[in-house]
Amino acid sequence: MLEIVTTGDGSKTIYNSEVGENYHSKHGALQESRHVFLNSGLIYFLNITQRKEVSILEVGFGTGLNFLLSAYHCAENKVELEYTGIEAFPLSEEMIRQTGYDEYVPKNTWDNFMLLYPDSLHGPVMMAEFCKLQIAGCKLADFKNKSLFDVIYFDAFASAYQPEMWSADSIAHAIQFLKPGGVFVTYAITGNLKRTIKSLGLKVEKAPGAPGKREMLRATKPF
């Protein structure tokens, strides 16, 4: 069962009773998404590369908040965005509308997302002139793609509730889709996670975490 709940910063998220976990941090859905994925992932990558085009793979598309914030930032900065989400259990349009995330992005960004969200589950759609979205309705282990990505947002449920998503095999499967020079970010940081990612040849760093977490993990794939 899915239920809309309000988090610590006033933004909403969804509680999944079957998993026993929220889709975002109880301390603040919006501030977590902005801090972990937008600022520490996308903006960090764009700043170090000075690129005007970027491709993002999100593991755990969920409510679409990370996509909406990324699309807004790219539109504002004239960056061409190709965004692919992996979501084994896509949410209904009605459930996404109840999140109220239209408050955080321009009306045209929100309207285009809600209009084209169903189509994006069946193939790539142009959300705007420089923004393409596709949502793969499958489990991470079943995801296949011919192209590699500049940034990976790893936003699965916490390992206490979904341990299979954080196994060495799952992390390795995700990172194989990262380009050399690409950036992997997630809200979590554990000894096992750091060791797994280091064993795959990436440079791991601790970054300040979102409110409620002291640290998060960011890793870069060498050229």
127: helix, coil or strand? strand
Q: Which residues are registered as beta bridge partners of 2?
A: 16
Start-to-end C-alpha separation, the chain = 44
Render the burial of 29-48: b for 16+ CB within 10 Å, e for the rest: bbbbbbbbbbbbbbebbbee
Question: 101: which 2 tokens?
Answer: 């995330």
Q: How many CB atoms lie within 10 A of CB 64?
A: 25
pLDDT in tens, 10-20: 999 999 998 99
Amino acid, res. 203: K
Average pLDDT over every residue of 16-37: 95
Query: What is the residue whose two structure tokens read 């809309």?
Result: 4
Q: For 188, which DSSP code? A: -
Give residue-wise pLDDT tens across range 96-148: 999 999 999 999 999 999 999 999 999 999 998 899 999 999 999 999 999 99
pLDDT tens column, 34-65: 999 999 999 999 999 999 999 999 999 999 99
Q: Token digits for 194?
A: 């750091």
Report the pLDDT value the prediction gives residue 183, as an integer from 0 to 100: 98
Give the single-character DSSP code of 7.
-
Query: What's the rounded mean pLDDT across residues 175-192?
Result: 97
At a CB cut-off of 8 Å and minimum separation 6, what does 178 contact? Answer: 57, 148, 149, 152, 184, 221
CA nearest neighbour of 167 among 145, 207, 139, 147:
139
Q: What is the pLDDT of residue 190?
A: 92
Closest CA to 186 of 221, 156, 213, 161: 156
How confident is the model at residue 151, as a pLDDT? 98
Domains parsed from the chain with CATH numbers: 31-220 (3.40.50.150)
* Whole-number Cα distances in Å, 48 to 34, 45, 52, 182, 220: 18, 5, 12, 11, 11
- What is the reported pTM? 0.97
Tell me which residue of 63, 49, 56 sits closest to 4, measured CA to CA: 63
Instruction: Give the percent of the chain with pLDDT over 90.
Output: 97
Element containing residue 168 per DSSP (H, E): helix 168-175
Q: What is the mean pLDDT of the chain?
A: 96
pLDDT for res 209: 93
pLDDT at 156: 96
- Residue 200 parent element (H or E): none
> What pLDDT is attached to residue 110?
97
